[in-house]
Amino acid sequence: MNDLAKLKKDLDGLEVEDNPQIVKQKSRDFFWYSPVLKRQLDHVTADLVVTPKSEEEVIQVLKACFAHDVPVTTRGAGTGNYGQAMPLSGGVVLNLAALNEVLEISPGVVRAQAGAIMAAIDEAARPGGQELRMHPSTYRTATVGGFIAGGSGGVGSINWGGLRDLGNIISLKVATMEAEPRILHMKGEDLHKVSHAYGTNGIILEVEVPLTAAYDWVDVIVGFDEFMDGVHFADALANQDGILTKEIAPVAAPVPHDYFLRHQKYLRKGQSVVLLMVAPFAMDAFLAFASRFRAASICYRSDVGRPEERKGLPPVYELAWNHTTLRGLRVDPTITYLQVLYPFPDYVEKVGRMTRLLGDEVPGHLEFVRFDGKITCFGLPIVRYTSEERLNEIIRLHEDHGCPIFNPHRYTLEEGGMKQTDAVQLAFKREADPKGLLNPGKMIAWEDPDFDFSAQKTYLFPGLAR
Amino acid sequence: MNDLAKLKKDLDGLEVEDNPQIVKQKSRDFFWYSPVLKRQLDHVTADLVVTPKSEEEVIQVLKACFAHDVPVTTRGAGTGNYGQAMPLSGGVVLNLAALNEVLEISPGVVRAQAGAIMAAIDEAARPGGQELRMHPSTYRTATVGGFIAGGSGGVGSINWGGLRDLGNIISLKVATMEAEPRILHMKGEDLHKVSHAYGTNGIILEVEVPLTAAYDWVDVIVGFDEFMDGVHFADALANQDGILTKEIAPVAAPVPHDYFLRHQKYLRKGQSVVLLMVAPFAMDAFLAFASRFRAASICYRSDVGRPEERKGLPPVYELAWNHTTLRGLRVDPTITYLQVLYPFPDYVEKVGRMTRLLGDEVPGHLEFVRFDGKITCFGLPIVRYTSEERLNEIIRLHEDHGCPIFNPHRYTLEEGGMKQTDAVQLAFKREADPKGLLNPGKMIAWEDPDFDFSAQKTYLFPGLAR
């Protein structure tokens, strides 16, 4: 009996999938946003997918995999797009989709199992007038545990910053990968150990996150002839302290008309837009603000007109964040994108410079956010992809102009992030995953402690199964 | 029959007070914060106080006063401290205290009569999990109409900016002072016409303002040996996007120990503090944040310890904003205060410079706020008053160092504010109060169009009755 057969025996009674086609499908995320990751990871698959129904079953899986030295890669809904949830060395995909209970809601707080869908959490919170502070554009499918393990911010970050900020996660319940897995309760500074660690050093079982006031947000699209007019408008609006918005995203022509197909009737070809979610009671103030800008014309408002006209339109947040690129890919599968930080205080100027420099090869897409107390913007520009070489050149151009890139064409934590070892996460991996079985290949600091981040070389995980 | 007798006849059936002692009492506000205003305004009194019970009765008062050319000065709770509500030319004080109904609450919005007490509005909103965005430290006595007519911001401005910001007032219902008073409904840009106009150009009857999520805010006092350590702490906390607070106010020694008598047992002599209101679910994150600062020690938390120990303690917001000075005046009636803006981005440096320059003559008190999208701070420093000359010198010193003063020792809109004509408010006064009967002497632009603001002379209203 080989290890896998022995493992299966230990998993008796659990929901285990070994049909290769289904296993492969559950071993993938949205990595194909990147032509680079598509080339590197397309073949990746686990041996088994296990779907535990309870914490006890999760512990059973971890104990069995530890005993047989089988890697475990945790999966939420698989909506990440850096291969976070892809099992580079095979083994088990631990699918937490069935741990989806919303456990407790109180003023300002929700406690839920890691596999709870974010929209489902809001559905449970909304009768009490509450909703999550922030969510990705994959709100209707993504799990809260996956967001914390692999996301950074999203819709709502204009008010609350990112997941890395103290206060945006209250506590986490985490299982370790040991002979006898421990259950840890983390809060405060400890949260950094496992949040945004791709499940490399612990299994998030339960999350406690803050809620804020829920409103029937009004979707608004404002049109501009010039992208930079839209950027200035968005920046001024983001700095209005009294006008409550949840989303402010300028998108350069030709993206809106060409890629937002279901909204196309509201958009002119060649028109740039700013995508907005505005609190309903802030609409009068917003309209007063907007009328100060001659260049701004309101193309679409979800709070006026006949409801049947709006039927079939996706919410505006499904045009924004990573959905902008997704809609682009549906029209033109050759495109890809980047992730840029335009640092405060001259972020608008930097956007202008990169826009002039790269033109239609890199149509702009910005997301305004709070970052260390200031308004600034992230970029998720579309890239008309020609080659990896040119893509790296575009990355270098951004960095040469003071705009750091969080590279979405890399599957490791470090290369997609700060390009340096995270000592806290590494130390916790030593403690919680001594055999290195959790999501192998994603934390360079563990796999290759001598890796030189300054050498500008891509890390290639030697354990990447072929 | 003189004019007053004729007026009284026209007011038949209304609640009219003409007992001189009571009238004088209802003709005053907290103007005595300022030794300058105390000298100028101590004798001021109306002839009558009228307390209408309905909008119809307000209109009746306005019509009668218009007919007999009697000035009308509107009063909420009289908690302003620039003489806003004081009838410089006598006449009628229009007391709106009886127009105090909370009319309608919906998600994000409350509509109330102008005389509604702010704490009473919150009491009505809280069962639905909502509360006002901001309030003055006189929350438990001040009216919402008075706050809009004479205030600028307060507790909560750290999240929402000030009343001047679009979106912090949704709409106002206003009566004009004409032969046939009109009822106007204002929103958007129009709101600026009458908000912070001291009732000089219309009578605010009803307000619609936004609500936000209500929490059982935790009062926290953090102690520091050095005031500037507290300022840096407060600034860093204010720039934490994920930690929800409602109030962040550093106060320099010896003010906390010497003036916060009911909290004295928690404070050391010579200790500076930062006063805080923190969301209960943000306490773990706040404590993690605070432990990064060696100089910070938590002196007081309202969420721990025995309830009987906390009995009799005022809420922290009643140590902050204008209550800091009020508590000082109760201990040492010779002090007064100033209102300073330390502009972004070098506000902390400017605070340090003024602190070194003025020492214990002007003990620091800051209120962190959002201002045009950035965190910065207002100062309400205590001033150990010696003479008007020295007070003016201290003002000049601030302005010479790039810190504008909003002078609380002046009773006019302009001198307490931007030191220039507000063309919008003036134009609206021409339209809505053609006889100039509303709160005479408070709008220089109306009384003396040729007044030279650059001449640094105090405006003296010639109509100030003696």
**ipTM of this predicted structure:** 0.97
The C-alpha torsion from A239 through A245 and A247 to A252, rounded to 10°, is -60
Which amino acid type is present at position A69? D
Q: State the sign of the Cα–Cα–Cα–Cα dihedral B202, B204, B208, B210.
A: positive
**Residue B213, phi-psi category: left (phi > 0), alpha (psi -120 to 50), beta (remainder):** beta
A443: in domain: no
Confidence class for position A1, pLDDT limits 50, 70, 90:
low
Residue window 68-127, chain B: list those with CB within 8 Å of chain A: 107-109
Of residues B241, B280, B372, nearest to A370 (C-beta): B241
Chain A residues with CB inside 8 Å of B213's CB? 107-108, 129-130, 212-213
Residue window 284-313, chain B: list those with CB within 8 Å of chain A: 284-289, 291
Nearest Cα residue to A141 out of A196, A80, A50: A80
In this structure, the strands spanning A218-224 and A203-213 are: unpaired
Chain A residues with CB inside 8 Å of B242's CB? 160-161, 165-168, 210
Are both B80 and B134 inside the same structural domain? no
Q: Answer yes or no: do B285 and A375 touch at CB < 8 A.
A: no
Q: Which residues pair with A213 in a beta bridge?
A: A130
Domain termination residue (choose one: A95, A120, A147) = A95
What is the token pair recorded at B177?
């002072």
Please count the residue pairs, one from chain A and one from chain B, whose beta carbons lie less than 8 angstroms apart.
150
How many Å lie between the alpha carbon of A186 and the closest alpha carbon of chain B? 10
Of residues A188, A289, A375, nearest to B373 (C-beta): A375
A416: in domain: no
Are both B243 and B164 inside the same structural domain? no
Are both B62 and B173 inside the same structural domain? no
> Do A250 and A366 form a contact (C-beta atoms < 8 A)?
yes
In this structure, the strands spanning B218-224 and A92-95 are: unpaired
pLDDT mean across residues, chain A? 96
Are both B372 and B258 inside the same structural domain? yes
CATH code of the domain in which A178 resides: 3.30.465.10
- φ/ψ of A190, rounded to 5, equals -60, -25
Nearest Cα residue to A428 out of A226, A259, A203: A203
Chain A residues with CB inside 8 Å of B166's CB? 240, 242-243, 285, 288-289
What is the token pair recorded at A273?
């837009």
CA A372-A378-A382 angle, to 5 degrees, is 170
For residue A355, the tally of other CB atoms under 10 A from its CB is 18
Chain A residues with CB inside 8 Å of B370's CB? 241
pLDDT in tens, A255-292: 999 999 999 999 999 999 999 999 999 999 999 999 99
pTM of structure: 0.97
Q: What is the pLDDT of residue B110?
A: 98
Can you tell me the mean pLDDT for A157-183? 98
> Do B372 and B166 form a contact (C-beta atoms < 8 A)?
no
Place of tokens 């100027």: A349
Does any CB of chain B come closer than 8 Å to the CB of residue A161?
A: yes
Does any CB of chain A come closer than 8 Å to the CB of residue B220?
A: no
pLDDT in tens, A410-423: 999 999 998 999 99
- φ/ψ of B111, rounded to 5, equals -115, 130
Name the residue in chain A with its Cα closest to that of B239. Answer: A373
B261: in domain: yes
The C-alpha torsion from B78 through B83 and B87 to B92, rounded to 10°, is -10
- The residue segments making up the domain with residue B46 are 4-95
B416: in domain: no
In this structure, the strands spanning A130-132 and A218-224 are: unpaired
CA A122-A126-A130 angle, to 5 degrees, is 85
- Determine which of B165, B166, B372 to mutate to test the interface with A (most A C-beta atoms within 10 Å): B166
Place of tokens 């069995």: A64
B23: in domain: yes
> Do A77 and A117 form a contact (C-beta atoms < 8 A)?
yes
Can you tell me the mean pLDDT for B149-159? 97
* 3-state SS assignment for residue A248: strand
Q: What is the DSSP string of A291-309?
A: TT-TT-EEEEETTSS-HHH
Does any CB of chain A come closer than 8 Å to the CB of residue B195?
A: no
Residue window 22-51, chain B: list those with CB within 8 Å of chain A: none
How many Å lie between the alpha carbon of B215 and the closest alpha carbon of chain A? 7
Q: Answer yes or no: do B285 and A108 touch at CB < 8 A.
A: no
Can you tell me the mean pLDDT for A388-394? 97
A67: in domain: yes
Q: What is the pLDDT of residue A3?
A: 81
Q: State the sign of the Cα–Cα–Cα–Cα dihedral B150, B152, B156, B161.
A: positive
pLDDT in tens, B204-233: 999 999 999 999 999 999 999 999 999 999
Name the residue in chain B with its Cα closest to that of A375. Answer: B373
Q: Answer yes or no: do B213 and A215 touch at CB < 8 A.
A: no
Can you tell me the mean pLDDT for A115-121? 98
Q: What is the pLDDT of residue B145?
A: 98
B184: in domain: yes
- φ/ψ of A263, rounded to 5, equals -100, 5
Q: What is the pLDDT of residue B1?
A: 56
Of A145-149, B17-21, B157-161, B302-306, give the lowest mean pLDDT range.
B302-306
Nearest Cα residue to B381 out of B400, B399, B394, B393: B394
Q: Which residues pair with A185 in a beta bridge?
A: A173
Separation between Cα atoms, residue A283 and residue A275, nearest integer Å = 14
> Do A363 and A382 form a contact (C-beta atoms < 8 A)?
yes
Name the residue in chain A with its Cα closest to that of B372. Answer: A239
Which amino acid type is present at position A389? E
- Determine which of B159, B185, B187, B241 to mutate to test the interface with A (most A C-beta atoms within 10 Å): B241
Are both A263 and A307 inside the same structural domain? yes
Domain termination residue (choose one: A356, A379, A400) = A400
Residue A127 contacts by C-beta under 8 Å, 6 or more apart in sequence?
A: none
Question: How many structural domains does chain B have?
Answer: 3
Name the residue in chain A with its Cα closest to that of B245. Answer: A167
CA B22-B23-B28 angle, to 5 degrees, is 100
Are both A57 and A37 inside the same structural domain? yes
Q: Answer yes or no: do A170 and B281 touch at CB < 8 A.
A: yes
Separation between Cα atoms, residue B432 and residue B436, nearest integer Å = 9
- φ/ψ of B387, rounded to 5, equals -155, 160
Does any CB of chain A come closer than 8 Å to the CB of residue B161?
A: yes
Asked if residue A2 has pLDDT above 80, the reply is: no
Percent of chain A with pLDDT over 70: 99
Q: Answer yes or no: do B160 and A239 touch at CB < 8 A.
A: no
Residue window 250-279, chain B: list those with CB within 8 Å of chain A: 279
Does any CB of chain A come closer than 8 Å to the CB of residue B189?
A: yes
Residue B310: C-alpha distances to residues B275, B290, B316 (Å): 16, 23, 12
CATH code of the domain in which B383 resides: 3.40.462
CATH code of the domain in which A24 resides: 3.30.43.10
Are both A367 and A235 inside the same structural domain? yes
Does any CB of chain A come closer than 8 Å to the CB of residue B282?
A: yes
Q: How distant is the alpha carbon of residue B350 from its chain centre?
A: 24
> How many residues make up chain A in this entry?
466
Are both A245 and A301 inside the same structural domain? yes
Are both A184 and A40 inside the same structural domain? no
Of residues A188, A279, A281, nearest to B285 (C-beta): A188
pLDDT in tens, A67-106: 999 999 999 999 999 999 999 999 999 999 999 999 999 9
The H or E element that residue A173 is part of is: strand A171-175
A157: in domain: yes
Separation between Cα atoms, residue B319 and residue B247, nearest integer Å = 11
Does any CB of chain B come closer than 8 Å to the CB of residue A333?
A: no
Asked if residue B438 has pLDDT above 80, the reply is: yes
Q: Answer yes or no: do B166 and A285 touch at CB < 8 A.
A: yes
Q: What is the pLDDT of residue A368?
A: 98
Separation between Cα atoms, residue B264 and residue B330, nearest integer Å = 15
Of residues A167, A241, A284, nearest to B161 (C-beta): A241
Of residues B161, B239, B282, nearest to A373 (C-beta): B239
DSSP code at position A76: S
Are both B175 and B195 inside the same structural domain? yes
Does any CB of chain A come closer than 8 Å to the CB of residue B214?
A: yes
Q: Answer yes or no: do A240 and B371 touch at CB < 8 A.
A: no
Confidence class for position A310, pLDDT limits 50, 70, 90:
confident
Are both A167 and A245 inside the same structural domain? no
Q: Answer yes or no: do A244 and B167 touch at CB < 8 A.
A: yes
pLDDT in tens, B220-274: 999 999 999 999 999 999 999 999 999 999 999 999 999 999 999 999 999 999 9
For residue A461, the tally of other CB atoms under 10 A from its CB is 17
Q: How distant is the alpha carbon of residue A85 from its chain centre?
A: 12
The H or E element that residue A256 is part of is: helix A255-259
Can you tell me the mean pLDDT for B8-16? 96
Nearest Cα residue to B393 out of B426, B431, B360, B362: B362
Name the residue in chain B with its Cα closest to that of A280. Answer: B108
Of residues B167, B216, B243, nearest to A243 (C-beta): B167
First to last CA, chain B: 23
Q: Answer yes or no: do A213 and B212 touch at CB < 8 A.
A: yes
Of residues B214, B284, B370, nearest to A188 (C-beta): B284
Name the residue in chain A with its Cα closest to that of B189. Answer: A288
Residue window 369-398, chain A: list those with CB within 8 Å of chain B: 370-375
Q: Answer yes or no: do A285 and B167 touch at CB < 8 A.
A: yes
Does any CB of chain A come closer than 8 Å to the CB of residue B170?
A: yes
Q: Answer yes or no: do A108 and B213 touch at CB < 8 A.
A: yes
Domain termination residue (choose one: B400, B421, B441) = B400
> Do B301 and B230 form a contact (C-beta atoms < 8 A)?
no
SS3 letters across chain B: CCHHHHHHHHCCCCEEECCHHHHHHCCCCCHHHCHHHHHHHCCCCCCEEEECCCHHHHHHHHHHHHHHCCCEEEECCCCCCCCCCCCCCCCEEEEHHHCCCEEEEECCEEEEECCCEHHHHHHHHHHHCEEECCECCCCCCCEHHHHHHHCCCCECHHHHCCCCCCCCCCEEEEECCCCCCCEEEEEHHHHHHCCCCCCCCCEEEEEEEEEEECCCCEEEEEEECCHHHHHHHHHHHHCCCCCCEEEEEEECCCHHHHHCHHHHHHCCCCCEEEEEEECHHHHHHHHHHHCCCCCCEEEEECCCCCHHHHCCCCCHHHHCCHHHHHHHHHHCCCEEECCEEECCCCHHHHHHHHHHHHHHHCCCEEEEEEECCEEEEEECCEEECCCHHHHHHHHHHHHHCCCCECCCCCCCHHHHCCCCCCHHHHHHHHHHCCCCCECCCCCHHHHCCCCCHHHCCCCCCCCCCC
Are both B244 and B350 inside the same structural domain? yes
Chain B residues with CB inside 8 Å of A216's CB? 107
Separation between Cα atoms, residue A336 and residue A380, nearest integer Å = 10
pLDDT in tens, B81-137: 999 999 999 999 999 999 999 999 999 999 999 999 999 999 999 999 999 999 999
Exposed / middle / buried, residue A392 (Cβ in 10 Å: 0-12, 13-18, 19+): middle
Does any CB of chain A come closer than 8 Å to the CB of residue B461?
A: no
> Do B201 and B425 form a contact (C-beta atoms < 8 A)?
yes
Name the residue in chain A with its Cα closest to that of B235. Answer: A373
